[in-house]
C-alpha cells in the first residue's frame, strides 16, 4: 500500500535511456508495471509525444527530482512536477556525491519535511541507514526507498543484512529497493526479503532486448513476492533427509 493506493504489480519502471519511444511503450506493457517514474528534466515542458506514451500506458506516473543536489532544487522541482503531472506523488532525490550518486541525508530530510508539510506524498531515495530512515518517517514519509547499490551500477543488493534489518525495523512502512538492480534474480531477492516493490531503469533500458528484459523483471518480482508470502525455507547448518526414516525396509 503506497499512500492508500494498492498495486497488483510491485515493479516500478523508469522511463529514461530507451532506444526509441516504441521500445519504451512495449517495455512498459511487457513489464506489467503499474507505476512509471519520470524526471521533470527528462520530460520537459514541450514533451507532448513523451507525455502521450505515459498516458497511453495506463500507469500511474511517479515524477522524480533526479539531478537535484540541494534541498531547494528538489523542492522547486517537485512543485513544478505536481503542477505538470497533477499528482502529489514525488520520488525525492537529493544527490550528495557526484561519483556514487549517494543521497545527501541532510538535504533529503530537509526537503522531505518541507514537501510532506506541503501535502506531497513523498517517496525518498535513501540509503539503508536506520537513523536517516527514522528522520524521514518522522518528517511524514510513509514510503522509504533504500538503494540496493549506486544508481546504474547493476551491483544488486550490496548490503543484504542492512536491507533485512531495515525491513524488520519498519514493519509498517512500505519499502522499495531503488537503484543498483542489474538482474531479475536480484529483484526477486529483494522481494523475498519482504520488500514491497522494486524500482529499476537501466537494467531494462540498456539491455539488448528491453522488452524481453522488462518481461523477465516483471516475472521475477512476482515470483519473489510469491515466495515471501508462501514462507521461505530457513537455512540450516546441517543436511536433513527429505525421505522419511519410518517405514523403510530393514535389509539383513
Annotated binding site: which residue ranges?
152, 179-180, 201-202
How far, in Å, CA of 247 to CA of 117, rounded?
A: 67
How far, in Å, CA of 190 to CA of 195, rounded?
A: 6
Angle at 110 between CA 128 and CA 79, to 5 degrees: 110
How far, in Å, CA of 36 to CA of 30, rounded?
A: 13
CA 131 to chain centre: 20
First to last CA, the chain: 62
DSSP 12-37: EEE-SS-S-HHHHHHHHHHHT-SEEE
Which of 46, 35, 129, 133 has its CA nearest to residue 90?
A: 35
Collect all residues with Cβ–Cβ distance below 8 Å to 7 and sequence separation of at least 6.
34, 35, 197
Grid look-up 532544487 returns 73
For the stretch 99-128, what's the b/e string if a residue is b when 16 or more beta carbons lie within 10 angstroms of its beta carbon? eebbbbbebbbbbbbbbbeeebbbbbbbbb
Residues with catalytic roles: 91
Amino acid at each position: 500500500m503506497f499512500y492508500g493506493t494498492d498495486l497488483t504489480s510491485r515493479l516500478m519502471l523508469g522511463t529514461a535511456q530507451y532506444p526509441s519511444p516504441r521500445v519504451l511503450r512495449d517495455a512498459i506493457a511487457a513489464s506489467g508495471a503499474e507505476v512509471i517514474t519520470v524526471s521533470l528534466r527528462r520530460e520537459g515542458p514541450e514533451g507532448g509525444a513523451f507525455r502521450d506514451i505515459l498516458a497511453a500506458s495506463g500507469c500511474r506516473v511517479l515524477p522524480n527530482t533526479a539531478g537535484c543536489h540541494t534541498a531547494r532544487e528538489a523542492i522547486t522541482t517537485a512543485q513544478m512536477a505536481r503542477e505538470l503531472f497533477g499528482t502529489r506523488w514525488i520520488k525525492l532525490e537529493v544527490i550528495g556525491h557526484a561519483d556514487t550518486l549517494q543521497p545527501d541525508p541532510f538535504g533529503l530530510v530537509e526537503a522531505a519535511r518541507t514537501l510532506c508539510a506541503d501535502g506531497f506524498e513523498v517517496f525518498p531515495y535513501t540509503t539503508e541507514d536506520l537513523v536517516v530512515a527514522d528522520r524521514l518517517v518522522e518528517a511524514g514519509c510513509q514510503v522509504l526507498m533504500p538503494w540496493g547499490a549506486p544508481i546504474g551500477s547493476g551491483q544488486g543488493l550490496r548490503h543484504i543484512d542492512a536491507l533485512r534489518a531495515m525491513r524488520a525495523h519498519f514493519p509498517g512502512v512500505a519499502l522499495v529497493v531503488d537503484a543498483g538492480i542489474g538482474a531479475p534474480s536480484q529483484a526477486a531477492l529483494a522481494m523475498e526479503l519482504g520488500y514491497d516493490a522494486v524500482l529499476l531503469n537501466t537494467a531494462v533500458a540498456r539491455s539488448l532486448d528491453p522488452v524481453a528484459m522488462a518481461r523477465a523483471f516483471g516475472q521475477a518480482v512476482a515470483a519473489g513476492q510469491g515466495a515471501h508470502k508462501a514462507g521461505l525455507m530457513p537455512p540450516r547448518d546441517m543436511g536433513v533427509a527429505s525421505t522419511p526414516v519410518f517405514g523403510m525396509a530393514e535389509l539383513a
